[in-house]
Amino acid sequence: MSERKDQNVIHTEHLCKFYPLGDIEVRALNDISIDINYGEFAAIMGPSGSGKSTLMNILGCLDRPTAGKYFLDGTEVSTISDNRLAEIRNRKIGFVFQSFNLLPRITALENVMLPLLYSKNKSHSKERAMEALDQVGLANRAKHKPKELSGGQQQRVAIARALVNDPEIIMADEPTGNLDSKSGKEIMQLLIRLNREKGKTVLMVTHDPKIGAVVPRVISVFDGMLGSQEEQEILQSWRQIDYSQATDEERAAVRDMIAAKAREQEEQDAKNGVVREEEDVHEGNASAADAIAEAFGTSNVSNGTAEPADKGTPQAQG
Amino acid sequence: MTAMKLSHLLSEAFENVRANKGRSFLTLIGIVIGISSVITILSVGLGVQAYVDDQMSGLGSNAVMISEGNYSIQTRNNQTVSTGDMEEICGLPFVIDCSPSLTEIKIATAENGKTLPLTILGYSAAGIALGGNELIHGRAYTEEEVRNAEPVIVTWSPVAERLFPGEKNGAVGRKIRIDNVTYEIIGEYLEGGFGQSFADQMNYASVPYTAMQLRMSGGNRHHYGMMLAFIDESLLTVEEGMTRIETVLRRRHDIPAGRPADFMITTSKEMIRLVSVVTSTFLIFLSGVAAISLLVAGIGIMNIMLVTVTERTREIGLRKAVGARNRDILVQFLFESAYLSLFGGLIGMTTGLLASFGLTAGLRLIERGFESVRAVVNPGVIAFTVFFAAAFGIVFGLVPARKASRLEPVLALRTE
């Protein structure tokens, strides 16, 4: 895997997703060009309605873009057939969902075996599923049904299911959103371990700024376009034209500005003893953010480097 | 499809049907009723048909029946079939033999004082011999006995037993009185045979037609209500024989061609065909009613599967997310509906067979001839019904399964 370290597992060019809504066209995604390297640990961030889920669905091959190109592990997937797309989901992507999505009537082991049912390689299904359960530390719960497991355990079963076909990418949609503080941390540690030890590319979707503040790379989405709301507003006011025309340099500069402003605010608050109320707190997300901070040793607000912002820059244009 | 996948589909279908016991049970009832009524109707209906066929097959296939009058058109000045008519017909080269066919209903009194209403048929010697009757005891009456109008009588079982309970050998040699004339029983025929339909309900016996004309009150020596002619099929077909006989009778009765005749000529084949048309019409009609109940059951399956698909949208989405193709989902849901209806079909088959046998047992209790009706269990019908049940599930499962397979994985996962 190391020889591919700086190659792109995900490469998109001008992805667009439009939905017809009566006479008008809703632009769910507009001109998204991103690259994600093998072995990256990244988060797609944005408030609800920003288009982050649409982006995740397209990157996860659950949906197709209306326009633009998407290369996954070197394969152009935006135009292939439904069946090939299903096969790619099966082989290359492991999904982890906020609400676990385990089938309630079957055991943990059978849930983990589910992707193998649709896989071309069905040999040793049981053994491989047990191995995956072992990796998430639940080998002794193989025969349990989901309702007999705690939320954290259920999510670990879901991760084992995502791992069973040894995919390139793990896509996790708010993986800690429904968990308590302890489980949230455990799950995030598990994802980090898979990223570090197994070299899996981890792509998370979250709306939680706490996590966004600590992950090595943030891909902000707002209004269907790359960049956070603040970033987009500033650029819009500068350019007075279509925001998407902004250059990479401009974008980077804007992100620096925003980061500096946030630091200033934080210092001010510290000085005045103001504790800002955080809205929409998820215990699981908070502890997950701690886990990420511990693992990657960064908090991209407090340490003041421009590194995360830099990484968020679209690397390929056209 | 690999073995693993098949076993997985099976266990999954089983689990899902089991998980919704109440609902599955209600859906099953519809299929059970549908399939079991089809099986019951077909088994009993085929039984009745077989019974009727059996009864009718006793009629010789080369027999032509000539009867006076015309039921379909009103004719005036009807002439009866006279001895002259019969003699001329009997003289035709293609007629092997012929016989009047007289019928009287009389009360017979046995030596022991027992009485029994008898349907007495007057035939010639050939009439019985050619009519497909099977002699089991004694002998038939001879041409000479016919010529002499001897008071001899043959019975069809179980008449002898009813008149002389416990008597073996068809009570041959015993005497019975009819209209104050004593007849000697000389033979017994197996039930069935010519003209002996529904022998269980009625009591048949036969005397020489001459004896009937001479010795029974109401006997007419010169006219016959009905007569039989047996065609030599090696010379011409029964149909051609009918045409020739019609020509003779029209000439004798002075009715030009084109005018309605005052007699009717039918064949036993035609009668068999008529009866089987009636029975199969009934069968088709009843099967149609049963088919409607199956259709309703099928709509029930479709309905329940649509509900299932809606309920399991998330599951479908998840399966697609982890790599299931549209076809995989389609097969899964088709399998489930086929399993459901096959299961119902098997239960329906069992209850249908039980009902068939129960019904014939019930008919046997009623007696009056119905006791001879046996449910015919046709393995082909059973196999077809079971196969049909599974196919049925697939047909009615198709719409829901297609709906499931076409769900967008994204939309499916989003549903809460």
- Look at residue A11 in the predicted model and tell me its pLDDT: 93
What span, in angstroms and rounded, lies between the C-alpha atoms of A220 and A227?
Answer: 5
Strand partners, A226: A221
List the structure tokens of B360.
Answer: 């014939």
Q: Report yes or no: A95 at the B interface, CB cutoff 8 Å.
A: yes
If asked whether residues B111 and B182 sit together in one domain, one would say yes
Q: Report yes or no: A296 at the B interface, CB cutoff 8 Å.
A: no
- Count CB-CB contacts under 10 A for residue B240: 13
CA distance to B62, B212, B227, per residue, from B127 (Å): 12, 14, 9
Of B2, B321, B328, the CB nearest to A62: B321
List the structure tokens of A198.
Answer: 């197994």
A306–chain B nearest CA distance, Å: 35
Mark yes or no for CB contact A83/B326 under 8 Å: yes
Q: Summarize the confidence of residues A5-24 as an average pLDDT.
A: 84
If asked whether residues B247 and B296 sit together in one domain, one would say no
DSSP helix/strand/coil, A46: coil
A281–chain B nearest CA distance, Å: 22
If asked whether residues B105 and B48 sit together in one domain, one would say no
If asked whether residues B335 and B201 sit together in one domain, one would say no
B18–chain A nearest CA distance, Å: 10
Name residue B386's amino acid: V
- The more confidently predicted of residues A302 and A143 is A143
Q: Report yes or no: B323 at the A interface, CB cutoff 8 Å.
A: yes
Q: Summarize the confidence of residues A185-194 as an average pLDDT.
A: 91
Of A103, A117, A125, the CB nearest to B315: A103
Q: Which residues of A touch B410 (CB under 8 A)?
A: 57, 62-63
Q: Report yes or no: A105 at the B interface, CB cutoff 8 Å.
A: yes
What span, in angstroms and rounded, lies between the C-alpha atoms of A261 and B311?
Answer: 49
- Look at residue A2 in the predicted model and tell me its pLDDT: 44
List the structure tokens of A144.
Answer: 């349990």
Of the three residues B229, B245, B267, the one that is the final residue of a domain is B267
Q: How confident is the model at residue A160 (pLDDT cuts 50, 70, 90)?
A: very high
Name residue B148's amino acid: N
Of the three residues B216, B246, B267, the one that is the final residue of a domain is B267
If asked whether residues B314 and B250 sit together in one domain, one would say no
Interface of B with A in 150-209 (CB under 8 A): none
Q: How many domains does chain B have?
A: 2
User: How many CA atoms, within 13 angstroms, populate the side-chain half-sphere of residue B352?
Assistant: 30
Q: Which residues of A touch B326 (CB under 8 A)?
A: 82-83, 86
Q: Report yes or no: A60 at the B interface, CB cutoff 8 Å.
A: yes
Closest residue by Cα to residue A90 from A162, A193, A11, A8: A162
If asked whether residues B229 and B148 sit together in one domain, one would say yes
A254-289 pLDDT, tens digit per residue, is 777 787 787 788 788 777 776 665 555 577 888 888
Best residue in A48, A59, A62 for a mutation probing chain B (most B CBs within 10 Å): A62
If asked whether residues B263 and B150 sit together in one domain, one would say yes
Report the complex ipTM: 0.83
Best residue in A103, A109, A163 for a mutation probing chain B (most B CBs within 10 Å): A103
| Statement: residue A314 has pLDDT above 50 | no
CB distance A191 to A172 below 8 Å: yes
Mark yes or no for CB contact A114/B319 under 8 Å: yes
Give the position of tokens 């309970």: B165
Q: Report yes or no: A19 at the B interface, CB cutoff 8 Å.
A: no
Q: Report yes or no: A154 at the B interface, CB cutoff 8 Å.
A: no
Instruction: Give pLDDT tens digits along chain B (416 positions).
Output: 455 577 778 888 888 777 788 888 888 888 898 888 888 888 888 887 777 776 666 556 678 888 877 666 565 556 677 878 888 888 888 888 888 888 888 888 988 888 888 888 888 887 776 666 778 888 888 888 888 888 999 988 888 888 888 887 888 888 899 888 899 999 988 876 555 555 456 788 888 888 888 887 666 666 777 888 888 888 888 888 888 888 888 888 888 887 888 888 887 777 777 777 888 888 888 888 888 888 888 898 899 999 999 988 889 999 999 999 999 999 999 988 988 888 888 999 899 889 888 888 887 777 655 666 677 777 888 888 888 888 888 899 999 999 999 988 887 677 55
B42–chain A nearest CA distance, Å: 41
Q: Summarize the confidence of residues A300-312 as an average pLDDT.
A: 39
What span, in angstroms and rounded, lies between the C-alpha atoms of A221 and A257?
Answer: 18
| Statement: residue A242 has pLDDT above 70 | no
CA distance to A5, A10, A206, B54, per residue, from A201 (Å): 10, 10, 16, 81
> What 8-state DSSP symbol labels residue A146?
G
Mark yes or no for CB contact B409/A62 under 8 Å: yes
A72-94 pLDDT, tens digit per residue, is 988 899 889 989 999 999 999 99
- Look at residue A142 in the predicted model and tell me its pLDDT: 92
What span, in angstroms and rounded, lies between the C-alpha atoms of B404 and B416?
Answer: 16
Burial letters B130-139, b for 16+ CB under 10 A, else e? bbbbebebbe
Q: Which residues of A touch B312 (CB under 8 A)?
A: none
Q: Are strands A93-96 and A169-173 parallel, antiparallel or unpaired?
A: parallel
What span, in angstroms and rounded, lies between the C-alpha atoms of B82 and B227?
Answer: 10
Q: What is the mean pLDDT of chain A?
A: 82
> What 8-state DSSP symbol labels residue A100?
-
Q: Report yes or no: A252 at the B interface, CB cutoff 8 Å.
A: no
If asked whether residues B318 and B245 sit together in one domain, one would say no
What span, in angstroms and rounded, lies between the C-alpha atoms of A123 and B97?
Answer: 83
- Look at residue A302 in the predicted model and tell me its pLDDT: 38
B321–chain A nearest CA distance, Å: 6
List the structure tokens of B106.
Answer: 């009389």
If asked whether residues B45 and B177 sit together in one domain, one would say no
List the structure tokens of B356.
Answer: 């068939």
- The more confidently predicted of residues A298 and B389 is B389
- Count CB-CB contacts under 10 A for residue A132: 26
Q: Which residues of A touch B332 (CB under 8 A)?
A: none
Of B15, B322, B413, the CB nearest to A118: B322
User: Sign of the C-alpha dihedral, residues A149, A151, A157, A158?
Assistant: positive
Q: Report yes or no: B3 at the A interface, CB cutoff 8 Å.
A: no
Question: How many contacts (CB atoms, under 8 Å) link A and B?
Answer: 65
Of A83, A95, A105, the CB nearest to B322: A95
The phi and psi torsions of B174 (rounded to 5 degrees) equal -75, 165
Its domain, for residue B124, covers: 63-267
Closest residue by Cα to residue B14 from B290, B303, B340: B340
Mark yes or no for CB contact B325/A62 under 8 Å: no
If asked whether residues B319 and B347 sit together in one domain, one would say yes
Q: Summarize the confidence of residues A121-144 as an average pLDDT.
A: 90
What span, in angstroms and rounded, lies between the C-alpha atoms of A125 and A109?
Answer: 10
| Statement: residue A295 has pLDDT above 90 | no
- The more confidently predicted of residues A10 and B13 is A10
What span, in angstroms and rounded, lies between the C-alpha atoms of B312 and B171?
Answer: 77
Of B315, B321, B326, the CB nearest to A89: B321
Strand partners, A24: A21
If asked whether residues B105 and B251 sit together in one domain, one would say yes
A97–chain B nearest CA distance, Å: 9
Mark yes or no for CB contact B328/A118 under 8 Å: yes
Best residue in B322, B336, B416 for a mutation probing chain A (most A CBs within 10 Å): B322
If asked whether residues B84 and B128 sit together in one domain, one would say yes
Of the three residues B218, B244, B267, the one that is the final residue of a domain is B267
